[in-house]
Amino acid sequence: MFYLLDVKEKVGIEAQKLKENVQDSIEEKLEDLHLKEENGVFLGVVEIKKIGETGEILPEKPYIYFDVEYTSLFFQPIQNEVVDGYITEVAEFGPFVRIGPVDALVHISQITKESLTYNPEQDVITSKDSKIILKKDEPVRAIVVNSSISEDRTRINMTMKQDELGLIKLLKKPKKKQGKK
């Protein structure tokens, strides 16, 4: 899920990186600071609402600190959220699926109730009857089981076992309602 977050914080800018337009310097610093954190994956600054008029220099710190209020855009998958994505990599233990700016794992046991096998030569996962063939770039629909995003690591697990999930090309199309004549 994508969401906006309003933030107030002190932002330190190195003196040599301070540009004529302080706002540009602050935007660059914020994007360096917040790539991944407990709020999810930082996608960027949407709007800087307020910058303190003067910077503050602290003893023994090589920065000029400004009070900043801004709105930022984050991506954080939510448990039980249905998401569409595409397979970026196929491994023996399951495919990795790109959702938003991150890759999530669908463990092979969470793809279908059918028995599946991994073929390393073709880099695919298939069912015995070959109706299901999971390969790179295939669009899929899945449910987020759990997620953990931090500065050190991103872990998102998904399932495709329920009805109306899996390879999008195999999903049943909704029946059109027939009107009375």
The mean-pLDDT minimum among 96-100, 110-114, 120-124, 148-152 falls in 148-152
The topology under which CATH files domain 82-170 is OB fold (Dihydrolipoamide Acetyltransferase, E2P) (2.40.50)
Fold match, 2-75 / 82-170: no
* Average pLDDT of the segment spanning 113-136: 89
Mean per-residue pLDDT over the chain, rounded: 88
Q: Residue 123: which of 89, 96, 83 has the closest Cα? A: 89
Helices (H), the chain: 22-33
The topology under which CATH files domain 2-75 is Dna Ligase; domain 1 (3.30.1490)
Cβ atoms of residues 12 and 22 within 8 Å: no
Pairing state between β 166-167 and 139-149: antiparallel
The ranges assigned to domains in the chain are 2-75, 82-170
- pTM here is 0.77
